[in-house]
Structure 1
């Protein structure tokens, strides 16, 4: 189970990294190092700026629910609350569309895959791929061509984050198993010690 303090730290990291990336991206765009979306114009830039903020705030608002872990998850039969899956999928649907939401999406992918559930991981990959495609189709309305190399890079990034989360999940599960075995051993020794004392 993730502590409240750990959740707050992850939220702060996602928010601070997102704001930093958001600021750098739009400064570089204003300086001409990054091409603005076509067709060019103040109205398009304003809409893109507003959408980026709105989706980023949405992702950050859902982040605590998405990374919430239940104490029952140490048992093999329980993956997590359905509300966490819904929040994860919403964040992953926008994390490549909004620069502000990108760090939250990375944290969510690691947290979700640490649950070691194929039924959660497959929808997450699909949501992440959809996010990459939506970005490609909406970033430049006048240029409908999709950069498949960018989409492929997004898929590779998604799989790397899932691999990191899966390794973390395996480590946590083994730690929980060892703690459970140690507890059972202590409980088994207690009656024997009581009988010896008697």
Structure 2
């Protein structure tokens, strides 16, 4: 993963207790049930209502690649909403998140210190307040830049400033992300 939003979504999917439906027909039936109708599913996927009905009845079994990707993405976004909500709640109140990233970290600090950005690989446990901020921002529709800023705040506070015990006033920049992964 190279985006914070995708990393958060992947972490939540690790909490699933049942596998996501594999076949196009099963995925389409689930989506129709969640959206309460074939018309809504057709509008979401950008296909005709009749095509949705044919997938539901297993008259069409193999969707073209673009449709298969959209269908799987939409089903994954809606799969096991209660499990997803419980995992978010637990991370935001009790356990926090573990972030594993390889990115360029730069910072502004006091004069006389080195502030040249450099590539680092970090694995840091973020406390629940940062997990809550990340999930709340994601639900509110925050962009990747805002999610990265929240993650940079968390990494700066926990890793670089050690919860206020050192590097007072250090502002961390989180750029050139090569890899970012979250775990609950």
Hey, which of these two has a bigger chunk of strand by percent? 2
Question: Which one has a larger percent helix, Structure 1 or Structure 2?
Answer: 1
**TM-score (normalizing by structure 1):** 0.27
Greater relative CO, 1 or 2 (CA 8 Å, sep 6+): 2
Structure whose alpha-carbon radius of gyration is higher? 1
Q: TM-score, normalised by structure 2?
A: 0.28
